[in-house]
Structure 1
Amino acid sequence: MSQPVGTLRQQVTGDLYAEVQTFYAQQMRRVDGLDIEGFADTFTEDGEVVHAGGHRQSGREEMIAGMRSSLPRYQDIAVRHWFGHLIIEPDAADEDTLRVSYYTLVTQTDREGKVNFQPTFTVDDVLVRRDGRLLTRSRVIHRDTPAAPPVG
C-alpha cells in the first residue's frame, strides 16, 4: 500500500534525494529507450516487480523476457515515465536500504505527436546500495483508484 501522509520518520539529505532522483531518471531513460538489458541491470539479480494486476516478475532474466514479449506494444510510439512526489526513508536497520514511494504517470506519443496518458500509479520501491551503486530490490505498483469520500 502507499505510504500514509505524515508518517515520515527521518528527513533525508538533499544529496541523497538528488541521488535517488538521478537514479530514477537514468533507470526510466533506459526503459523508455527500450534498453531492456540496461533497465534490468538497475535491479538486483533477484529483484522483483509486482505489477498492479498482481503479475510478479522475479529476477533479471524473467524481467527481460517479459519486456521482450511486450516490445510490439511500443512500436511507433515514444513512451515516457514521469515520477514525482518522492518520499524517501532510510531503513533503520540497514543504512544501505531505502524505502521509496512515489507517483508515476506514463505518456505515449505517436508519430503525429498525439499524446496518450496512461492510468496513474503509486509505486513502492526498496532500493539497496551495492558496491556504491543504487539498485532496485523490489517494486510494487498500485493502480490509483478514487479515495472513498469521508463519512459524515
Structure 2
Amino acid sequence: MYAEVSGFYARQMRHLDEGAVAEWAKTFTMDAVFHISTRAEPMRGRAELAAGAGAAVKAIVALGEVRRHMTGMYEIEERPGGLLHVRAYTIVYATSAEGQSRVHQVCTCTDTLVRNTVEGRELQVKERHVIVDGTA
C-alpha cells in the first residue's frame, strides 16, 4: 500500500509542477473539496481546482520560477468503505531562472483517498486539508 500511495503522490505532484493542471485535477474526485490555510474558502470540484492551479502556475511562470513539491513521511490508515486516510509533509522548493533554489513552503497535508476504477485511476483525493506552516 505504501508504494501505491507514494506513487500516486509522485504522479500528482509532477502534474502540478509541470503545469498539467487538467491532469492534476483528474487526480481528485468530481466533488472533491480542497481546504488550504492560505485561502478563506475551500475549492470545490475539479473545475475550481483546475482554475486555481492554473492561476498559480501562471503566477509562478510570471515570477520566472520553477516549483517542485516533495511529498513524503506518509502515515496511511485504512478506513471503512475502502477509504484511505493519509497524512504527509510537503516541502515546496522554488528555483529562480538563475538556478538558485530556496524552500518556498512547508506544509502538512491530510487527505481522504478513494479508489476509483471507473475513470481508470486507482486512487483519487476526495478531501484535502493543507496547512502551510506559519499560517494556521
Residue 52 of structure 1, CA deviation: 1.2
Which of 83, 86, 96 lines up with 2:74 in the alignment?
86
Task: Quote the Cα distance in structure 2 between the aligned partners of 1:73 and 1:61.
Answer: 18
Matched residue count: 128
Residue 68 of structure 1, CA deviation: 2.2
**Cα pair distance change 1:71/1:119, threshold 3 Å:** closer
Which of 108, 112, 123 lines up with 1:126 in the alignment?
112
Report Cα offsets for 1:4-58 as digits up to 9, x if no partner. Answer: xxxxxxxxxxxx1000000000000000000000000000001110011243100
Maintained 8 Å contact 2:16/2:53: no
For the pair shown, the structure with the greater C-alpha radius of gyration is 1
Q: Give ranges in structure 2 of 5+ residues lacking alignment.
A: none
Report Cα offsets for 1:51-91 as digits up to 9, x if no partner. Answer: 11243100000111222222332112211001121000000
TM-score, structure 1 as length reference? 0.79
Letter in 1 for 2:60: Y
TM-score, structure 2 as length reference? 0.88
Task: Give me the identity figure in percent.
Answer: 33
Maintained 8 Å contact 2:107/2:132: yes
Report Cα offsets for 1:99-148 as digits up to 9, x if no partner. Answer: 00011100011111111212311110000001161001110001235xxx
Q: Does 1:31 align with 2:19?
A: no
Structure 2 residue aligned with 1:46: 31
Query: Over the residues paired in the alignment, what is the CA RMSD in angstroms?
Result: 1.3
Which of 119, 122, 133 lines up with 1:144 in the alignment?
133
Q: Give ranges in structure 1 of 5+ residues lacking alignment.
A: 1-15, 146-152
Q: Does 1:73 align with 2:62?
A: no
Structure 2 residue aligned with 1:20: 5
Higher strand share: 2
